[in-house]
Structure 1
């Protein structure tokens, strides 16, 4: 095969490859632990705490990944994603960062451990999340 024909074939192949790779949409990962969690009112009670836990109306379970940075726009990196355990590292720019692990025991009971930096201070907490009813 002459050199010019080979170069054209390679260039055409590369052009098609790049066109297809650029046009492919990015896929959002599915968090297996969060699928099937019941929507509604949840109580997040820190382990060892005597007082009642923090109440939250759970619509999108992904908010459990950034409890200390709720509402912040953060980038996430999935460390572990299985049917029973989800571990995610996240960065929120100047607002801080964290690593959260969620272990699902049932559709209405989870264990959360999260640690990182928020408001320029370290945080670490372990809590039980339990569905308590409708919002």
Structure 2
């Protein structure tokens, strides 16, 4: 351990140093460009979201799979941080400047069926939902 590092630990404390060292690994998805391969392997087309709380279903055109991340912030350029990126599940936390934030987990059952859990703030309103999304055909 160098003298400078010992001084930093003494001055900042171990937790602050650990947090500083972890920053490069917590960069937004736009900076790291993670694969999110599970979303890339979903079938393209029109999907229907069926909400578990009984609210009316919603249709969404899936062109890249990433549309499912920001269902309450569609089309917004938001900063994303990938929390989990596996073959069966992705979790992304995102922040949309001036319009809120969210955290979405998507679990793949098949190429045309996923389970979604999301929560956050859109505008000034809180949202939280679980839904099943299923491909129903081609986009219109």
TM-score (norm 1): 0.76
In the alignment, the residues of structure 1 paired with residue 55 and residue 77 of structure 2 have an alpha-carbon distance, to the nearest angstrom, of 32
How many residue pairs get aligned? The number is 109
Partner of 1:86: 90
1:44-83 mapped onto 2 (5 Å cutoff): 44-49=49-54, 51=56, 53-83=57-87
Partner of 1:120: 124
* Contiguous gaps of at least 5 residues in structure 2: 1-30
State the 1:132 CA deviation: 0.6
The 1:70–1:50 alpha-carbon spacing in structure 2 relative to 1, beyond 3 Å, is closer
Partner of 1:130: 134
Tell me the secondary structure at the aligned position of residue 72 of structure 2: helix
Tell me the secondary structure at the aligned position of residue 114 of structure 2: strand
In the alignment, the residues of structure 2 paired with residue 48 and residue 114 of structure 1 have an alpha-carbon distance, to the nearest angstrom, of 13
State the 1:27 CA deviation: 5.1
In the alignment, the residues of structure 2 paired with residue 125 and residue 62 of structure 1 have an alpha-carbon distance, to the nearest angstrom, of 18
Larger Rg computed on CA atoms: 1
Runs of at least 4 residues off by over 4 Å: none
For residue 107 of structure 1, the aligned residue among 95, 100, 111 is 111
* Contiguous gaps of at least 5 residues in structure 1: 1-25
State the 1:58 CA deviation: 1.2
In the alignment, the residues of structure 1 paired with residue 137 and residue 75 of structure 2 have an alpha-carbon distance, to the nearest angstrom, of 23
Partner of 2:10: none
RMSD: 1.4
State the 1:33 CA deviation: 1.9
